[in-house]
Structure 1
Amino acid sequence: MKDFAISDDPAVQAQLDRLGALTLPQGRFGLETIRAILTRLGDPQTRLPPTFHVAGTNGKGSTCAYLRAMLEAEGLTVHAATKPHLVRYNERIRLAGALISDHELAARLKQVLDASEDLSPSFFEVTAAATFLAFAEHPADACVIEVGLGGRFDATNVLERPAACGIATLGIDHEAFLLRPEAGVPQEPLSRIAFEKASIARPGSPLVTQAYAPEVTKAVLDVAMQAGARTALRDLDWSAAVGETIAYRDARGELSLPLPALAGRHQADNVALAVAMLRHQQVVTVSPEAMARGIRTARWPARLQRLGDGPLTALAPGRQVWLDGGHNVDAGLAIARHFAGQPLHLVTGMLTTKDPSAIVSPLADQLLSISAVPAPGHDAHAPADFAPFTALPVGSFADVSAALAALPPEGDVLIAGSLYLAGEVLRLNRQIPD
């Protein structure tokens, strides 16, 4: 199954099958292939509305959700490209506020795949090209584009003059790709991650960041200087204090903004980055009032999402069931801060490429039980992989439904550790992202 959703539409499924057959040639890095594909398609990436480009380890998807919500609250139409999809591939491409239709999705994927077959494109290159094609053919006032993996070699990194670029929270993830040996790049791991993410910087475009350790900030500044980008660093060029409101401040003045409806204190930091990106660009105007409305209404599924009534939650009656797709240490710490001191049953299905302690360790003192389940379509950690990080026995279940049905009658539930698992949970509970 890999990263490719199954569609009820035969025309879409035919193209998803073609996507599923693609492989990335071993050792191929760079933007030459995506540029060649886009050239054959008439360079649609040069015909986009003002674009907001967001990279980072954690929080970039939420930042994109806030950007879209605030722009739409201003009355603007917005295209958005986010990843990964949770249930349907269509979630990756949002045209003027609505998910791309099956008819157009099939047509765009076929157009790109037909044009690039001899170039051995990757899944991500085809997806980016199809997204740019769709965006270029439909009018909108702005685009919000989430970087996939890294930044420097991400297939979206072909934009020439974004309205603003943003870098969310940084952490260690995807080490095999982002930390592979290479000369002439920072060698300290987090600085190397910053180098990769900051490489979305463009001449004249503001590069807006969160606050990082000094050596990490230096890596960002070095990249920005080489690119000719203007930087806007948190706690230097702008600040945001989180209390009962978000007290935002920059050279243009101060704003008092509401806390977001999305759960987790870290979401206020994602809000602040989105606000800073809007405040440090000069292409699109968004009022403070629209910012406040967007902050309150933004949605972003599978990020500390409390599940509603459905077939899956019915298996755990009388308790809250929470869902989070986080799978690295920073995500685990954010989850632990949100549930500080609250007893929880953990149901987890983590890919074998991820650290099995990432979620378990930060929550260790408050877990009532741990249930290991498969990650749909992927190799997942076995119960024994979690055992070194907990004194609790780790149960093994065939799926989430079986794990929930076996839980004792008291205690809320957290399902976490994989976005692939999160997508399956949303599908089973009939909460399909729209």
Structure 2
Amino acid sequence: MSISAPAQGAALADWLAYLETLHPKPIDLGLERIRAVAARLNLSLDCVKITVAGTNGKGSTCAMLESILLTAGYKVGKYTSPHLLRFNERIRVNGEEASDADIVARLERIEAAREGVTLTYFEMTTLAALLLFQAARLDVAVLEVGLGGRLDAVNLIDADCAILTSVDLDHMQYLGDTREAIGREKAHVFRPGRPAICADPVPPQTVIDHAQAIGADLWRVGVDFNYSGDRQQWAYGGRSQRRNALGYPALRGANQLLNASAALAALEALRERLVVTQQDVRQGLLHVSLPGRMQILPGLPATILDVGHNPHAASALGQNLDSMGHYPHTYAVVGMLHDKDIEATLSRLSRRVDRWLCATLGGPRGTSAQELAAIVRRIGGEQAPVDPFIAQTSEIVRPTGEHKPGVRAAPRPAVAARDVQVSTFDSPEQAFAEARRLATDNDRILVFGSFATVGPVLDLLRREGRDVLA
């Protein structure tokens, strides 16, 4: 049952607590309710609109688009979720987080307009972001889809260009338990006659079929756009545009060139409306920032923060860890939500971790440290599986600059998992403190598994005076 709406002038924290009580289900996919309220609000965005859907890579792609477009001089709004430290991270205008007062003013307006229609937390906050963007008179809005696509609140907006970064198994209780089913849901962000950028190297047939059925202008990586690179620089090639001699994105990770090429394909598809120079691209990629995505902190021991929380993301994380070189010991601080495929996710990293420090995450979706530890012990004595991510989506970058996205790296042979130590903690902060106590300067600490794991550790480091959000 909903509590009473906050009084006039209430704090943002009070409003966010209220939003959690409005609807009987925390996730209730569907567009009927939000469309009804949006109509009452006379909501419309008179700007270029780019939506970004996908299992992984959405946040990085949105960040690159924002950085490039800001460098090009456009007024840009970016909406993403979830957040690491502050709700305000979700709504940005011209690179700055929205203020508490601006968010509260929009929530008050939505509350007055909804007239008994119950909206979820995400639906209310999506409307707040869109109202802020409407008032800001943007040139471009970059909108990250929350869950799936077809019934997600962000799909209220008819995008001028839609990006699908990747399709893999996650949120299966809502989207289906196969890539084909999940791809069908995500492909519904595409619009008839408009560019639909697909950066998944091996997309489910349902994605292609839906794009063809509605008459979307489908751009496929390896078909309509591509990238190549060597150790110093990389290049993008599209249908009619090529961008050479690009510096690597500031974001680390095995898949960041794939994400960057998707962003550049979207900009090529929109080039008649958005003029973006080669220098804009270079500077935008050089200065892009996104905490919590393969974020390596300065100092010793090496500390890596990554919000990856599904098998696909863990596979990419494993590749990135392998590229870092040898460390005597790896300490993994992990906390996960119980609706994730925990066993498959941890299995992707089992051979790379010497000691697991399992942390309890609170809330109704949280998993206890003891449950995580039991899963770690169960997979610890098993043979590590062949990594399907490596077999399907690894990039091959050749010294000559030749890149063949259709050719996949040979899978690593199965390796028997090592005996590892497992311990449990009441919170990510406690687990991280113990990892720091145990690790030497030559070791590395990995913090991963959820925004709710990385966020508290980032906050702890921030309070210690570390520059962790740059």
Does the C-alpha gap of structure 1 residues 192 and 102 become closer, same or farther in structure 2, counting only changes over 3 Å?
Answer: same
Alignment partner, residue 38 of structure 1:
38
Query: How big is the shift at 1:97?
Result: 2.1
Alignment partner, residue 397 of structure 1:
425
Alignment partner, residue 133 of structure 2:
135
Paired residues for 1:410-421 under 5 Å: 410=440, 411-421=443-453
Paired residues for 1:67-86 under 5 Å: 67-86=65-84
CA contact (8 A) 2:195 2:218 kept: yes
TM-score under structure 1 normalisation?
Answer: 0.88
Does the C-alpha gap of structure 1 residues 63 and 27 become closer, same or farther in structure 2, counting only changes over 3 Å?
Answer: closer
Amino acid at match of 2:458: L
276, 294, 313: which one pairs with 1:286? 276
- Counterpart CA distance in 2 for 1:276 and 1:270 is 10
- Counterpart CA distance in 1 for 2:24 and 2:55 is 22
Is 1:60 the counterpart of 2:58 in the alignment? yes
Query: How big is the shift at 1:61?
Result: 0.9
Does the C-alpha gap of structure 1 residues 251 and 405 become closer, same or farther in structure 2, counting only changes over 3 Å?
Answer: closer
Does the C-alpha gap of structure 1 residues 335 and 236 become closer, same or farther in structure 2, counting only changes over 3 Å?
Answer: same
Alignment partner, residue 15 of structure 2:
15
- Secondary structure of 1:151's partner? coil
Structure 1: which 4+ aligned runs deviate by more than 6 Å? Answer: none
Alignment partner, residue 240 of structure 1:
227
Structure 1 residue ranges without an equivalent (≥5): 1-8, 181-188, 310-317
- Secondary structure of 1:338's partner? helix
How large is the Cα RMSD of the aligned pairs?
2.1
Paired residues for 1:266-305 under 5 Å: 266-281=255-270, 282-305=272-295
Does the C-alpha gap of structure 1 residues 385 and 286 become closer, same or farther in structure 2, counting only changes over 3 Å?
Answer: same
Amino acid at match of 1:417: G
Query: How big is the shift at 1:337?
Result: 0.5
- Secondary structure of 1:191's partner? helix
- Secondary structure of 1:284's partner? coil
- Counterpart CA distance in 1 for 2:209 and 2:352 is 42
Is 1:262 the counterpart of 2:251 in the alignment? yes
CA contact (8 A) 1:24 1:121 kept: no
Amino acid at match of 1:290: D
Amino acid at match of 1:333: S
- Counterpart CA distance in 2 for 1:146 and 1:366 is 31
CA contact (8 A) 1:91 1:433 kept: no
Alignment partner, residue 154 of structure 2:
156
Alignment partner, residue 186 of structure 1:
none
Is 1:178 the counterpart of 2:175 in the alignment? yes
- Secondary structure of 1:52's partner? strand
Query: C-alpha deviations, 1:102-133, integer Å up to 9, x for none?
Result: 11111111211232251111112111111111
Query: How big is the shift at 1:10?
Result: 4.7
- Secondary structure of 1:118's partner? coil
- Secondary structure of 1:263's partner? coil
Does the C-alpha gap of structure 1 residues 400 and 13 become closer, same or farther in structure 2, counting only changes over 3 Å?
Answer: closer
Query: How big is the shift at 1:25?
Result: 5.0
- Counterpart CA distance in 2 for 1:354 and 1:299 is 26
131, 145, 156: which one pairs with 2:143? 145
Query: C-alpha deviations, 1:29-65, integer Å up to 9, x for none?
Result: 42111100101101x2x23311111100000110000
Does the C-alpha gap of structure 1 residues 24 and 148 become closer, same or farther in structure 2, counting only changes over 3 Å?
Answer: farther
CA contact (8 A) 2:429 2:456 kept: no
Does the C-alpha gap of structure 1 residues 149 and 303 become closer, same or farther in structure 2, counting only changes over 3 Å?
Answer: same
Does the C-alpha gap of structure 1 residues 358 and 48 become closer, same or farther in structure 2, counting only changes over 3 Å?
Answer: farther
Query: How big is the shift at 1:27?
Result: 9.5
Alignment partner, residue 197 of structure 2:
208
- Counterpart CA distance in 2 for 1:293 and 1:334 is 26
- Counterpart CA distance in 1 for 2:164 and 2:26 is 28
152, 164, 168: which one pairs with 1:167? 164
- Counterpart CA distance in 2 for 1:124 and 1:432 is 27
CA contact (8 A) 1:55 1:151 kept: yes
- Counterpart CA distance in 2 for 1:26 and 1:293 is 40
Amino acid at match of 2:348: P
- Counterpart CA distance in 2 for 1:432 and 1:405 is 17
Alignment partner, residue 391 of structure 2:
none
- Secondary structure of 2:445's partner? strand
Query: How big is the shift at 1:359?
Result: 4.1
- Counterpart CA distance in 1 for 2:88 and 2:241 is 39
Amino acid at match of 2:275: T
- Counterpart CA distance in 1 for 2:366 and 2:356 is 19
CA contact (8 A) 2:76 2:141 kept: yes
**Identity %, equivalent residues:** 32
Does the C-alpha gap of structure 1 residues 409 and 424 become closer, same or farther in structure 2, counting only changes over 3 Å?
Answer: closer
226-235 or 400-409: bigger deviation: 400-409
Query: C-alpha deviations, 1:323-380, integer Å up to 9, x for none?
Result: 1110101111111101116442101011111222344322222212111012243421
- Secondary structure of 2:354's partner? strand
Query: How big is the shift at 1:433?
Result: 4.9
Structure 2 residue ranges without an equivalent (≥5): 1-8, 381-418
- Secondary structure of 1:275's partner? helix
- Secondary structure of 2:248's partner? coil
- Counterpart CA distance in 1 for 2:48 and 2:97 is 19
- Secondary structure of 1:107's partner? helix
Amino acid at match of 1:337: Q
CA contact (8 A) 2:71 2:283 kept: yes
Does the C-alpha gap of structure 1 residues 385 and 211 become closer, same or farther in structure 2, counting only changes over 3 Å?
Answer: closer
Alignment partner, residue 238 of structure 2:
250
- Counterpart CA distance in 1 for 2:298 and 2:38 is 42
